Amino acid sequence: MSKKAKRGTGGSGGSATPATRALDAAGVTYVEARYTHEGEDRDFAAEAVRELGLQAAEVFKTLVARTTAGDLVVAVLPSDHKLDLKALARAVGAKGAEMAAVPDAERATGYVRGGISPLGQRTRMRTVVDASAEALPRIYVSGGRRGFDIGLAPADLLRVTGAAYAPLVREP
């Protein structure tokens, strides 16, 4: 972990976000990892991996998609992989899916692009976590701000969000 990251457990106090408040309310123990977001970097997940000194397989990005039925759904997958929209659609029982427009994702989640967390979203959406998370003791997801990630057990993420595991990544 880089020197820019700070570790702590729960109770984020004055720097609380809806994500940390959701975890605190559920009694989940988590690790806070912070770094200084560089304004020009738009690959937010890769930036988190680099700045926090973590492996790409343990940092998960949060993406919002829209099904053919019009529902917004959340996909949580490893930072170095691409989302397989057909796999996401299958996981939520839809005929198809496409990436949601950024303003729609921001409005539904209450977060800005690059800081969208699967936790504490304004509108609770069906959430699917890539099956690779199940084998890891801890994954890092956005804490609700650019430059702020939360490390937690994948099972806790599923419990708090009501998510399910499914394969979500495209094969290279």
Long-range contacts of 113-116 (CB under 8 A, 24+ apart): 113/44, 114/37, 114/42, 114/44, 114/142, 114/146, 115/44, 115/142, 115/143, 115/144, 115/145, 115/146, 115/148, 116/62, 116/63, 116/64, 116/142
**Looking at the predicted structure, is the pLDDT value of residue 146 above 70?**
yes
What share of the chain has pLDDT > 90, as a percent? 77
**Looking at the predicted structure, is the pLDDT value of residue 57 above 60?**
yes
**Looking at the predicted structure, is the pLDDT value of residue 106 above 60?**
yes
Q: Residue 111 is part of which domain span?
A: 17-166
What share of the chain has pLDDT > 70, as a percent? 89
What does the pLDDT average to over 55-67? 96
Q: Is residue 95 part of a domain?
A: yes
The tally of domains found in the chain comes to 1
Q: Is residue 1 part of a domain?
A: no
Q: Is residue 144 part of a domain?
A: yes
Q: What is the pLDDT of residue 6?
A: 42
Q: Is residue 32 part of a domain?
A: yes
Q: Is residue 7 part of a domain?
A: no
0.85 surpassed by pTM:
yes
Q: Is residue 2 part of a domain?
A: no
Q: Is residue 12 part of a domain?
A: no
Q: Is residue 40 part of a domain?
A: yes
What CATH number did the domain enclosing 158 receive? Answer: 3.90.960.10
What does the pLDDT average to over 8-15? 52
Q: What is the mean pLDDT of the chain?
A: 90
Q: 55 or 15: whose pLDDT is higher?
A: 55
